[in-house]
Amino acid sequence: MKKRILLGLGFLLILLSLYLVFLFVPTEKEMGIVQRIFYLMVPSAWTALLSFLFVFAASILYLASRKSKWDILAHSAAEIGLAFTSLTLIVGSIWARPIWGVWWTWEARLTATLVLWFIYLTYFIVPSMVTDESRAARFAAVVGIVGFLDVPIVILATTLWRGLHPAPIIFQGGIAPPMLLTILASVAAFTVLYFILLMLRVSIKTDEVELKKLRELPD
Amino acid sequence: MENFGYLLAAFSAAWAVVFAYLLLLLNRQKKLHQEINLLKEELKGK
């Protein structure tokens, strides 16, 4: 029942945000129509960072309790976070090309985001080299905790270092009300989508653990 | 409309990735449920 409500809400929010992005929000004066990628990129980045917050918290809880449910949550959140970080980098690159004239530049925020992508890739690579499952989970948890240090760097990059990437405007009063409504709706849509994906991924990971236990049962 | 191609590419890429990932997860869940049910039946039979 809860799942259906969440799915329905997610679907409606996605439709609402698409309507706002393509039919409601006015075109930005300087960048033109391509500026609407903002309503995709910001929610994508937000979802990635939210996911890594879940990884961070679940990793701490796993190390403190050694309960597998926290490892399952951290692993699931890391996978989704990696997917949305990839999306942010791809979409950001598509936006950068017409605006900055390049697909990529080594400016602070982009570089910090790419570093974040590599950190969370490591979350999957390092434990896969360890045969003992419990040790692998502990390694992953450590990466999940230490890797989170890059998240505030990504967030503060445009404030700490001047570069091509624009400085924050959403909560600094630098955005017109129709644009604020559109970005908030898009962020809400992506947040609900995130929780749908997370619930699904956790369910799958839990099933994988159950399957393994069933296979290991004596004949 | 200038740069409309980039806008279309960004939204198409994003939703394609999201739906592909969602379909992958749903498919994996379906296969897992099938395997679990099969194993449970086999274990009951024993």
B29 chain-A contacts, CB cut-off 8 A: 200, 203-204, 207
Long-range contacts formed by A197-203: CB under 8 A, 24+ apart: A197/A80, A197/B21, A197/B22, A197/B25, A198/A51, A198/A54, A198/A76, A198/A77, A198/A80, A199/A3, A199/A6, A200/B22, A200/B25, A200/B26, A200/B29, A201/A76, A201/A79, A201/A80, A201/B25, A202/A72, A202/A73, A202/A76, A203/B29
State which residues of chain A have pLDDT below 70.
163-173, 219
Cα nearest neighbour of A194 on chain B: B18
Question: What is the pLDDT, as a whole number, of residue A214?
Answer: 87
SS3 call for A36: helix
Supply φ then ψ for residue A32, to 5 degrees: 75, -155
In this prediction, residue A137 carries a pLDDT of 93
A218/A48 Cα distance (integer angstroms): 42
In chain B, what percentage of residues exceed pLDDT 70? 96
What confidence score (pLDDT) does residue A99 get? 87
Q: What is the pTM of this model?
A: 0.90
Indicate whether B13 pLDDT > 70. yes
Answer whether B38 touches A (CB < 8 Å).
no
The pLDDT of residue A217 is 77
- What is the pLDDT at residue A80? 96
pLDDT at residue A131, rounded to an integer: 86
Predicted pLDDT of residue A176: 86
Distance from C-alpha of A116 to C-alpha of A113, rounded to nearest angstrom = 5
Q: Of B10, B22, B33, which has the smallest distance from its Cβ to A197's Cβ?
A: B22
Q: What is the pLDDT of residue A168?
A: 62
Q: How far is A77 from chain B (nearest CA, A)?
A: 14
Q: What is the pLDDT of residue A161?
A: 72
